[in-house]
Chain A
Amino acid sequence: MTLTDTVAEKRPGLSPRQRAQRSRGIQYAVLIVIVLVAAFTANWGQIASVFFKPEFVKSAFTSGLPGAFVKTIEYTAGAFVIGLLGGTLLALMRLSRVAPYRWLATAYIEFFRGLPAIVVFVAFSLLPLAFADLVIPLDPYGTVWLALGIVAAAYMAEVIRAGIQAVPKGQIEAARSLGMPAGVATRKIVLPQAFRIVLPPLANDLILLVKDSSLVFIIGTSAAAYELTGFGRDLANTESNLTPLVTAGFCYLIITLPLGLLVRWLEAKAARAH
């Protein structure tokens, strides 16, 4: 009340509503100027032919884009499973009564969360040099899943731990009072509720994982194993045109946008349940 009074006194001609209207008008004007400048100064023909050339979009589809799309999904899905299993194990270790398990889990989580994922991938690319006899099964899937999953597990462990701790203590007491041993109570009562709680943040981790799968080309996979980024980069190089990479980029959105909607839907559902 007093605030608007003093403001109105300084500018006697304008009511607060009129001032808000004028501010909005200025914002629109700035936007229009920027659009006009961009429209008249940029070389649209060149931009279109470098980034969005239709024949390169077509050639991307015929020269293996669908396969790369499937590879991205396969790499992500496998890594998610490893991350989920590893993350659950790490979360249980962090909550263990045995102190060394807690230390190990904490060390692992802090190490791989603090490390840029790209370092892990470079390390995996060098592994065959260091260990000549090393064979990771299911080539190239085994290596990719392991590299992505090792990092994902660290992130998911923290999410799952928070979920486990969010399950009320009374749930464990009820389970134990029915004679359930600790392990059964964890499996049948605590974990199902914990996963329900962490479903939205886990779906978020999945989105991050889709994008991290683009780092796979660092491992140095063969052309047949290319996922979207590897494929787009390779084709953009040979064609000297960015269109294949842009096309690959849009393919990520086809995966991540529905996942984003899923996260929002899960969050809304969780909010309604409470």
Chain B
Amino acid sequence: MALVEIKNLHKSFGGNHVLRGIDFTVEQGEVVCVIGPSGSGKSTLLRCVNLLEVPQQGQVFVRGEDITDRDCHLDSARQQIGMVFQQFNLFPHLSALANCTVAQTTVLKRSKAEAEQIARANLDRVGLNDKVTAYPLQLSGGQQQRVAIARALSMDPALMLFDEPTSALDPELVGDVLTVMRKLALDGMTMLVVTHEMAFAREVADRVVFMDGGVIVEQGPPADLIGNPKEERTRTFLRRVLDPTHVEPN
């Protein structure tokens, strides 16, 4: 059974039909990178996986449970799905440690001591064991994003969603975050990553999905999809990202 299975997903905002029938799956332990031009619906797709966006049509199964079903206990489904946002969204009134414990104690009902132990281990895992008491505003963007990863990991998720996790970062801070994500992938975490980092996708992803105009145009192993794309739309997109100075012949 696939960890995530999406069937015929449709989502529109007003008259804007953003997702036009998406079918795809993520297997246990798989790292899937979603690429595509802005406005192609890749972030919306990701946000449908934990129902931050509610699709108008279609189903999302997580571990076989249909989370679009009204009877589904959405909060407990979300506990298994960690999410990392482009804008970090750390809780500014809480320290790095408390950011990582607040959901553990309130949702998972872990004791404070246990939650703090788990939080410290995860902050250590992202290389921030010296920033446990720091508040988000005292941290750099890269450090904030790594706290956000530790916060999600502290819930012991079965799946991690990354929504353009390095897009809001200064270029010199991107590497730290990607290093943490690479390590996570090597540890066997199931990851669904919306990204513009082609080098990361090529190196870390088991599968790359190219989206355009609200549909999946093409998907496959990175060597095939990035190295030798079949579809013209994929080729055009890749030419633009891999060589931004390239001018399209008319």
| Interface positions of A (Cβ within 8 A of B) | 168, 170-171, 173-181, 184, 188-189, 192-193, 196, 273
Contact = CB atoms under 8 A, between A and B. Distances in A.
Give the 9 A-B CB pairs with smallest separation, nearest first: A179-B79, A178-B103, A174-B89, A177-B83, A170-B89, A179-B78, A179-B107, A179-B75, A192-B93
B79 A178 contact: yes
21 contacts: A168-B89, A171-B89, A173-B85, A174-B90, A175-B103, A176-B75, A176-B78, A177-B50, A177-B78, A177-B81, A177-B82, A178-B103, A179-B103, A179-B155, A180-B106, A181-B107, A184-B106, A184-B107, A188-B102, A188-B106, A193-B93
A189 B103 CA distance: 10
A273 B91 CA distance: 14
B42 interface: no
B92 A193 contact: yes
B79 A176 contact: no
B137 interface: yes
Interface string B58-86: 00000000000000000110110111010
> Taking chain A's interface residues, is the majority helix, strand, or loop, or is none over half, making it mixed?
helix
A171, A174, A176 interface centre (most CB from chain B within 10 Å): A174
> Taking chain B's interface residues, is the majority helix, strand, or loop, or is none over half, making it mixed?
mixed
Nearest to A169: B89
B89, B90, B137 interface centre (most CB from chain A within 10 Å): B89
Contacts of A178: 78-79, 102-103, 107, 151-152, 155
Contacts of A170: 85, 87, 89
Interface of B: 50, 52, 75-76, 78-79, 81-83, 85, 87, 89-93, 102-103, 106-107, 137, 148, 151-152, 155
A175 B50 CA distance: 12
Nearest to B107: A179
Contacts of A175: 91, 103
A168, A176, A193 interface centre (most CB from chain B within 10 Å): A176
B75 A180 contact: yes
A193 B90 CA distance: 12
B89 A173 contact: yes
A187 to B, nearest CB: 9
B93 A181 contact: no
Nearest to A181: B75
B70 to A, nearest CB: 16
A273 B137 CA distance: 8
Contacts of B75: 176, 179-181
Contacts of A177: 50, 52, 78, 81-83, 152
A260 to B, nearest CB: 26
Contacts of A176: 52, 75, 78
A171 B93 CA distance: 11
Given A178-B107, A184-B107, 13 more contacts: A170-B85, A174-B85, A175-B91, A176-B75, A177-B82, A177-B83, A178-B78, A178-B103, A179-B75, A179-B78, A179-B103, A179-B107, A180-B107
Contacts of B85: 170, 173-174
Contacts of B76: 179
Nearest to A179: B79
A173 B103 contact: no
Contacts of A179: 75-76, 78-79, 103, 107, 155
Given A178-B152, A180-B75, A196 B107 contact: no
